[in-house]
Amino acid sequence: MKTYVSPGQRPDTATVVAIGSFDGVHLGHQALIAQLKAKAREHRVPSVVYTFDPPTRVLTQGVEFLSTLPEKLDLLGRYGVDETIAASFTPEFASRPKEAFLDDLRQLRPRTVVVGEDFHFGRGRAGGVDDLRLVAPEVVTLPMHQLGGEDIKSTRIREYLRAGDVVGAGRLLGRHYDAQGVVVQGDRLGRTIGWPTANIRVPDGKALPLGVFAVVAVGDHGRWHGMANVGFRPTVNGQDRRFEVHLFDFSGDLYGQELQVKFFAHLRGEQRFAGLDELKAQIARDAQAARDALKDVR
């Protein structure tokens, strides 16, 4: 998939365009992509997603994001998008008048524009669906996608994650929620108590559920079942959020490598234990619970 940072970078050809933050690329976004690809096939032109980094609400409302830009681009490519324009969403970009964004779209020569029915753009959200008809002969709007009567939206997924409900989040995503990051040096406490962990650094602002989870980790050299602890480690008076993963049946060095961790089941919330012996006993129970939760996962 080709990626650009502005419409002017791509070749001067006709397109079909879908616009939005696409944070998490959830089932609602996937419905938008399906419509985008169908229209692109109909017109025999490239399918283009015009998206924003960070997602608009991260800047305007300070929320956490579900997918980093590399994660989002990977997902869009996997779902069959031909090209992506990932515009840097800064205060300056957000303050542009709607006419400036329409000028961006004109450069893409869209045969069709595909958006959610509540799509707005430009300073003060002044632009709407009717304005898009000034730059494209066809505008397709999709209503809020639902699953079992529940609106599928990034806000709801973040609520599930705050509650530790990774199954609920995964249901709206259409896949297991995941986080990617580089393995960095920790304080090696896990190693001293017989449960070595990979300490994973993810970008600030990435939404992570707190607690202990059954996970599957994927790296360049393998795929492992395991358990993850996300939190502040109250037993050892931790001060910062840590994301630590113990990989079952693994020995070796992962420092500097990138891991993708997929969350399968919530095992328990964070707890403070009386000492390390009590913590070790609970970790052993967690490990068995994680193995049980993952026994049918290949």
Specify the pLDDT at position 298: 84
Specify the pLDDT at position 94: 93
Higher pLDDT, 270 or 137: 137
Q: What is the pLDDT of residues 56-83, one digit of tens each?
A: 999 999 999 999 999 999 999 999 999 9
For range 243-254, the mean pLDDT: 91
Q: Which two tokens stand for residue 242?
A: 């840590």
Burial, 25: exposed, middle or buried (Cβ in 10 Å; 0-12, 13-18, 19+)?
A: buried
For the cut 70, the answer to whether the pLDDT of residue 219 exceeds it is yes
Q: Is the Cβ–Cβ distance between 32 and 78 less than 8 Å? A: no
Distance of CA 180 to the CA centre of its chain: 10
In sequence order, the β-bridge partners of residue 223 are: 218
Q: Which two tokens stand for residue 193?
A: 């108590």
The answer for residues whose C-beta is within 8 angstroms of residue 273's C-beta and 6 or more apart is 235, 279, 282
Using CA atoms, how far residue 119 sits from 5, 37, 66, 149, 174, in Å, is: 21, 19, 20, 21, 23
For range 240-255, the mean pLDDT: 89
Which residue spans within 70-221 are E strands per DSSP? 83-88, 110-116, 138-142, 146-147, 150-151, 178-184, 198-201, 211-219
Q: How confident is the model at residue 232 (pLDDT cuts 50, 70, 90)?
A: confident
Q: Where are the alpha helices (DSSP H) in 174-250?
A: 189-192
Q: Which of 247, 282, 250, 276 is nearest to 262 (CA)?
A: 247
Q: What is the pLDDT of residues 112-122, one digit of tens each?
A: 999 999 999 99
Distance CA(173)–CA(179), nearest Å, equals: 13
Single-letter amino acid, residue 65: F
Bridge-based pairing of strands 198-201 and 178-184 is antiparallel
Specify the pLDDT at position 173: 98
For range 210-239, the mean pLDDT: 85
pTM above 0.85, yes or no: yes
Q: Which of 254, 273, 94 is nearest to 193 (CA)?
A: 273
Phi-psi region of 50 (alpha: psi -120 to 50; beta: other; left: phi over 0): beta
Specify the pLDDT at position 248: 95
Q: What is the pLDDT of residues 14-72, one digit of tens each?
A: 999 999 999 999 999 999 999 999 999 999 999 999 999 999 999 999 999 999 999 99
Specify the pLDDT at position 99: 97
Q: How confident is the model at residue 235 (pLDDT cuts 50, 70, 90)?
A: low
Specify the pLDDT at position 244: 94
State the chain's mean pLDDT as an integer.
Answer: 93
Specify the pLDDT at position 238: 59
pLDDT over 90 for what percent of the chain?
A: 84
For the cut 60, the answer to whether the pLDDT of residue 210 exceeds it is yes
For the cut 60, the answer to whether the pLDDT of residue 148 exceeds it is yes
For the cut 80, the answer to whether the pLDDT of residue 188 exceeds it is no
Q: Where are the alpha helices (DSSP H) in 26-84?
A: 27-43, 56-61, 69-78
